[in-house]
Amino acid sequence: MSRPQAVPTVQVDNDRVVVTEWRFAPGAETGHHRHGYDYVVVPMTTGALRLETPAGEVVSQLVAGRAYYRGAGVEHNVINAHEGECVFVEIEIKQAAAQPPATGS
């Protein structure tokens, strides 16, 4: 079954983070992929996503404004499983900020 592709728009890509807005028409998918970095997702819309994972299919309910975190290594295909457009912002964390030197008191 052929599905439309979700549309990624990279907003920031530097040595510390990648920030991507993802837009999914109803039924659109990302295609199977593996996350190389820890990441945070900030949903802009509310609705169900279907995740095809190595362990099986999972349905995830997104709520606009309710962010969540996942660690590197997650593998899945993400599919918009509701009737409206689905939009979220994904923030991939490439590296932690450098720690400032400790100051004495």
- Chunked mean pLDDT (size 10), the chain, 105 residues: 92 97 97 97 97 96 97 96 96 80 66
Q: What is the pLDDT of residue 95?
A: 80
Residue pair 80/43 in contact (Cβ under 8 Å)? The answer is: no
Residue closest to 47 by CA, chosen among 25, 29, 62 = 62
Residue closest to 38 by CA, chosen among 13, 72, 63, 11 = 72
Which CATH number goes with the domain that contains 48? 2.60.120.10
Residue 53 CA to residue 47 CA, distance in Å, equals: 19
Token pair listed for 48: 């169900």
Q: What is the pLDDT of residue 96?
A: 67
Structural domains in the chain (count): 1
Burial class of residue 102 (count of CB atoms within 10 Å of its CB; 0-12, 13-18, 19+): exposed
Residue 14 CA to residue 44 CA, distance in Å, equals: 23
Specify if 28 maps to a domain: yes
Residue pair 63/46 in contact (Cβ under 8 Å)? The answer is: yes
Amino acid at 41: V
Specify if 30 maps to a domain: yes
Specify if 35 maps to a domain: yes
Question: What is the extent of the structural domain holding 84?
Answer: 7-93
